[in-house]
Amino acid sequence: MNVKKIMHLCLSLMVLAALTACNNDDNGAAMEDDLTSMEDDGIMEDDGMMGMDLDFSGTYAQVDFMGRPGINSVLSANGDIKDMHNRSIPSEMKANFQAAFEAQLEGLHDAYAVALGLTAQDVDYQPNILGDILNGPDNDGFTNNPVTATVLTTVLANDILEVAPDAPTTYFNPGVGAPTYEGGIGLTGRTPQDDVIDVSLILLFGGGDGARFNGQGGLPLLVSDGVGLTATISDTFPYLGDPE
């Protein structure tokens, strides 16, 4: 933008400021004439960027990717896998990370078995509460239609938030709750009220009723991080209140 255009722009802004003291009719006509003058001088281009040329050339690198918080942190066995997952695109995630995520999920259960003085079979992964939500309706979705470790890690390896236009938006709604979770809905999006970390831990360690490792009976608490929702949620943008 040359000096002449800058001078025209400054003058136009001064005129607009002065016109605020005029009546409504004068304002409308004056503003229209002023904008027309600016366009004639080449200050405003068709793209509305005031004559500036935008240059998006260059080399770009994806450094992070996160659809579901915490999944990569829990299921990546080491930092290298985590970094590779962060740099991947969704279409590559299942093929590249599902098997590694499943091995890590089983390995975590084995580690807890050792810590509890039990065998791996005693603390193996159990099909979880998603049941027929992922696999389709069934008379007993949590037994005859299970979400196996392979099914779960296939879903979670694709680190995206699904959208279900014909269903309520929720990370997980338990419906009537344990033990049947009748009417439950899962993975149809996310709202600010959803406790994503707790839901994720329940899917990984909660078993068929969502409470397998609930801290009782000598078992560790693995189905919750113990942190509740403390943010103030409103119905208007930006929805979240000030940090507490």
* Identity of the highest mean pLDDT range in 22-36, 73-87, 223-237: 73-87
Quote the domain boundaries for residue 30.
1-60
Asked if residue 224 belongs to a domain, the reply is no
Residues 41 and 98 in one domain: no
Please report the pLDDT score of residue 101 as a whole number: 95
Band of residue 9 on the pLDDT scale cut at 50, 70, 90:
very low
Per-residue pLDDT tens over the stretch 160-218: 888 888 888 898 888 877 777 777 888 888 888 888 899 999 889 988 888 888 888 88
Please state, for a pLDDT cut of 90, what percent of the chain lies above it: 14
Asked if residue 178 belongs to a domain, the reply is yes
More confidently predicted of 229 and 113: 113
Tell me how many domains the chain contains.
2
User: pTM value?
Assistant: 0.67
Band of residue 99 on the pLDDT scale cut at 50, 70, 90:
very high
Residues 47 and 75 in one domain: no
In three state form, how does the secondary structure of the chain look? CCHHHHHHHHHHHHHHHHHHHCCHHHHHHHHHHHHHHHHHCCCCCCCCCCCCCCCCCCCCCCCCCCCCCCHHHHHCCCHHHHHHHHCCCHHHHHHHHHHHHHHHHHHHHHHHHHHCCCCCCCCCCCCCCCCHHHHCCCCCCCCCCCCCHHHHHHHHHCCCCCCCCCCCCCCEECCCCCCCCCCCEECCCCCCCCCHHHHHHHHHHCHHHCCCCECCCCCCECCCCCCCCCCCECCCCCCECCCC
Residues 77 and 103 in one domain: yes
Please report the pLDDT score of residue 95 as a whole number: 94
Band of residue 6 on the pLDDT scale cut at 50, 70, 90:
very low
Please report the pLDDT score of residue 135 as a whole number: 62
Please report the pLDDT score of residue 164 as a whole number: 84
Asked if residue 127 belongs to a domain, the reply is yes
Please report the pLDDT score of residue 36 as a whole number: 53
Please report the pLDDT score of residue 109 as a whole number: 92
Please report the pLDDT score of residue 3 as a whole number: 44
Mean pLDDT, residues 212-239: 83
Lowest average pLDDT, out of 13-17, 128-132, 220-224, 235-239, goes to 13-17
Mean pLDDT, residues 81-88: 89
pLDDT, the chain, mean: 76
Residues 55 and 75 in one domain: no
